[in-house]
């Protein structure tokens, strides 16, 4: 069959004749039938949901009447540093600020920009404090609906898979790559990366994903603006932008680690099947073939290599909670360490919108109320159990399904790249 064009596929979508599959559906189809052709599928929706440090947001916030102050010197939102600029907005009573997802609140060491973004998307009121050039402070309680600009920018997201993390040394290690201090002597592992669902893994030659590609960022329409920081040809990642008004809180938030809180977001990207090359890339992107470097967290250097099948095949995508097994510990370790603050001890309940199914609860619950298979990694023939996942296949699948639904309902159109991604070698 001859190659297809973007507009040809968009026209099929408009007529309701296009075949759209999620990445999971595509992989199952190929495994069950052995092959697939260009005429069998038009678009595959791939997604990832993961801790991604390179997340920020730009807000414009009305904080006072005109003339009240000259300009902002410092600003805080729920105690999270918000950096004024680039526009001074002299005497307008407005501030333009940049907030990093990893910036930690001056009031609460377990609250950061990631948790703030979720609170804003949920519509909660936040406290905005501005220190002025004149030397006095202005404060105001607002929700994001009061903001006049709210856009998320990422500087390093959607890595073409990432890796597993271990600690070969004897001493425990506090690190952003572990929920609790990482035990030494290769006793445990964590990992990030959604394997065969990952968008860039499914377009290895970057044939259809490029600058200008429309995407979903936390369920809101966004766009790829280029490669991200530390992006290379072998290990590309993306920089994307999206307005925050239509984002859904279940796809983003803060993520507490043993070192300091980080942030997680979710991105879905459509892959139009325009050629045999694109189809082949999708067929080759399976967990059994995708490499997963095993990294010594102390020096951030690979010491072995496994495959994503070790952590995503034969495992549970979701963690189960049995409240009958809860022994109501006065100092509940699950509540204390849950990265997304999803567990409430008093209610004996897990908030499904907050839970990323990382599995950290399984290993700290004294009553064994949490269960789930998380898989393992292999280092020189040794099986090392995974104790926490920094990516959520469950949320990634859900977002890929949402993008598929919007494509089929005509709410989302494919956009050909305006130029290829030029990631440095």
CA neighbours closer than 13 Å in the CB half-sphere of residue 220: 21
Per residue in 112-148, pLDDT (tens digit) is 999 999 999 999 999 999 999 999 999 999 999 999 9
With 60 as the cut, is the pLDDT of residue 1 above it? no
Percent of the chain with pLDDT over 70: 99
Q: What is the pLDDT of residue 3?
A: 77
Of the pLDDT bands very low, low, confident and very high (cuts 50, 70, 90), residue 172 is very high
Instruction: Tell me what the pLDDT averaged over the chain comes to.
Output: 96
Encoded tokens for 75: 């600003």
132: which residues sit within 8 A by CB, 6+ positions away?
69, 70, 71, 72, 73, 138
Q: Which residues pair with 139 in a beta bridge?
A: 129
Asked if residue 77 is part of any domain, the answer here is yes
With 90 as the cut, is the pLDDT of residue 2 above it? no
Crossing angle for the helix pair 23-33 and 393-408, nearest 10 degrees? Answer: 90
Please state the rounded mean pLDDT for residues 177-181: 97
Asked if residue 143 is part of any domain, the answer here is yes
Strand intervals (E) in 233-352: 238-243, 253-255, 262-272, 291-296, 301-307, 320-321, 343-344, 349-350
Region class of 299: left (phi > 0), else alpha (psi between -120 and 50), else beta: alpha
Please state the rounded mean pLDDT for residues 194-210: 97
Asked if 273 and 5 touch (Cβ cutoff 8 Å), the reply is no
C-alpha angle 79-58-63 in degrees, rounded to nearest 5: 60
Length of the chain: 425
Crossing angle for the helix pair 276-284 and 23-33, nearest 10 degrees? Answer: 90
Q: In what order do the strands lie in the sheet with 291-296?
A: 301-307, 291-296, 163-166, 189-192, 382-389, 376-379
| Eight-state DSSP code of residue 290 | S
Please state the rounded mean pLDDT for residues 14-41: 95
By residue range, what is the domain housing residue 71? 54-153
Of the candidates 198, 205, 217, 152, the one whose C-alpha atom is nearest the C-alpha of residue 403 is 217
With 90 as the cut, is the pLDDT of residue 403 above it? yes
Asked if residue 139 is part of any domain, the answer here is yes
Q: Which residues pair with 49 in a beta bridge?
A: 266
Asked if 18 and 39 touch (Cβ cutoff 8 Å), the reply is no
Percent of the chain with pLDDT over 90: 94
Q: What is the pLDDT of residue 233?
A: 85
Encoded tokens for 162: 């990432």
With 90 as the cut, is the pLDDT of residue 234 above it? no
Asked if 157 and 131 touch (Cβ cutoff 8 Å), the reply is no
Tell me the pTM.
Answer: 0.96
Of the pLDDT bands very low, low, confident and very high (cuts 50, 70, 90), residue 425 is low
Q: What is the pLDDT of residue 144?
A: 98
Per residue in 73-113, pLDDT (tens digit) is 999 999 999 999 888 999 999 999 999 999 999 999 999 99
Please state the rounded mean pLDDT for residues 188-196: 97
Q: What is the pLDDT of residue 110?
A: 96
Q: Which residues pair with 240 in a beta bridge?
A: 224
Asked if residue 67 is part of any domain, the answer here is yes
Pairing between β-strand 343-344 and β-strand 349-350 as defined by DSSP bridges: antiparallel
Per residue in 237-275, pLDDT (tens digit) is 999 999 999 999 999 999 999 999 999 999 999 999 999
* Cis peptide bond N-terminal to 418, omega within 30: no
Encoded tokens for 146: 């009061």
Q: Which helix or strand (DSSP H or E) is residue 23 part of? A: helix 23-33
CA neighbours closer than 13 Å in the CB half-sphere of residue 274: 18
C-alpha angle 65-68-70 in degrees, rounded to nearest 5: 120
Report the C-alpha gap between 373 and 245 in whole angstroms. 36
Total domain count for the chain?
1
Per residue in 286-298, pLDDT (tens digit) is 999 999 999 999 9
Pairing between β-strand 349-350 and β-strand 370-371 as defined by DSSP bridges: unpaired
Using a 10 angstrom Cβ sphere, with 0-12 exposed, 13-18 middle and 19 or more buried, the burial of residue 317 is: middle
Asked if 296 and 213 touch (Cβ cutoff 8 Å), the reply is no
Encoded tokens for 370: 């949490």
Report the C-alpha gap between 342 and 375 in whole angstroms. 22
With 60 as the cut, is the pLDDT of residue 227 above it? yes
Report the C-alpha gap between 311 and 385 in whole angstroms. 9
Asked if residue 31 is part of any domain, the answer here is no
With 90 as the cut, is the pLDDT of residue 27 above it? yes
Of the pLDDT bands very low, low, confident and very high (cuts 50, 70, 90), residue 24 is very high
Q: What is the pLDDT of residue 161?
A: 81
Q: How far is CA 19 from CA 11, 86, 184, 323, in A?
A: 12, 45, 49, 42
Please state the rounded mean pLDDT for residues 218-232: 96
Please state the rounded mean pLDDT for residues 421-425: 78
Encoded tokens for 249: 């809180």
Per residue in 311-360, pLDDT (tens digit) is 999 999 999 999 999 999 989 999 999 999 999 999 999 999 999 999 99
Asked if residue 92 is part of any domain, the answer here is yes
Asked if residue 98 is part of any domain, the answer here is yes
Asked if residue 114 is part of any domain, the answer here is yes
Q: Which residue has the tokens 């990030």?
A: 192
Q: What is the pLDDT of residue 164?
A: 98
């Amino acid at each position: 069959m001859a190659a297809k064009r973007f507009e040809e596929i968009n026209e099929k979508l408009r007529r309701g004749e296009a075949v759209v599959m999620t990445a999971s559906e595509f992989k199952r189809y190929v495994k069950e039938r052995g092959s697939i052709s260009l005429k069998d599928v038009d678009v595959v929706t791939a997604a990832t949901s993961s801790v991604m440090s390179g997340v920020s947001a730009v807000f414009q916030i009305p904080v006072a009447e005109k003339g009240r102050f000259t300009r902002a010197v410092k600003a805080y939102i729920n105690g999270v540093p918000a950096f004024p600029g680039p526009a001074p907005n002299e005497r307008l009573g407005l501030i333009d600020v940049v907030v990093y997802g990893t910036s930690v609140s001056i009031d609460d060491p377990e609250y950061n920009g990631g948790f703030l973004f979720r609170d804003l998307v949920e519509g909660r009121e936040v406290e905005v404090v501005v220190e002025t050039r004149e030397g006095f402070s202005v404060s105001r309680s607002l929700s994001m609906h009061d903001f006049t600009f709210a856009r998320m920018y990422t500087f390093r997201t959607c890595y073409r898979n990432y890796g597993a993390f271990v600690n070969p040394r004897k001493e425990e290690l506090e690190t952003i790559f572990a929920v609790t201090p990482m035990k030494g002597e290769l006793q445990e592992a964590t990992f990030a990366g959604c394997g065969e669902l990952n968008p860039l893994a499914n377009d290895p030659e970057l044939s259809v994903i490029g600058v200008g590609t429309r995407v979903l960022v936390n369920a809101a329409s966004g766009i790829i603006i280029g490669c991200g920081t530390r992006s290379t040809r072998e290990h590309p990642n993306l920089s994307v932008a999206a307005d925050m008004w239509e984002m859904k809180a279940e796809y983003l938030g803060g993520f507490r680690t043993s070192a300091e809180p980080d942030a997680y977001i979710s991105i879905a990207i459509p892959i139009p099947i325009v050629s045999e090359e694109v189809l082949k890339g999708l067929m080759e992107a399976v967990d059994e073939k995708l490499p997963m470097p095993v990294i010594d967290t102390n020096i951030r250097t690979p010491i072995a290599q496994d495959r994503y099948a070790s952590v995503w095949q034969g495992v549970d995508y979701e963690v189960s909670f049995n409240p009958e097994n809860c022994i109501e510990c006065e100092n509940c370790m699950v509540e204390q360490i849950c990265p997304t603050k999803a567990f409430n001890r008093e209610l004996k309940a897990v908030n499904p919108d907050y839970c990323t199914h990382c599995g950290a609860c399984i290993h700290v619950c004294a009553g064994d109320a949490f269960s789930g298979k998380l898989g393992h990694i292999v280092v020189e023939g040794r099986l090392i159990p995974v104790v926490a996942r920094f990516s959520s296949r469950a949320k990634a699948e859900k977002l890929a399904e949402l993008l598929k639904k919007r494509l089929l309902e005509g709410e989302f159109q494919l956009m050909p790249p305006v130029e290829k991604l030029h990631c440095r070698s």
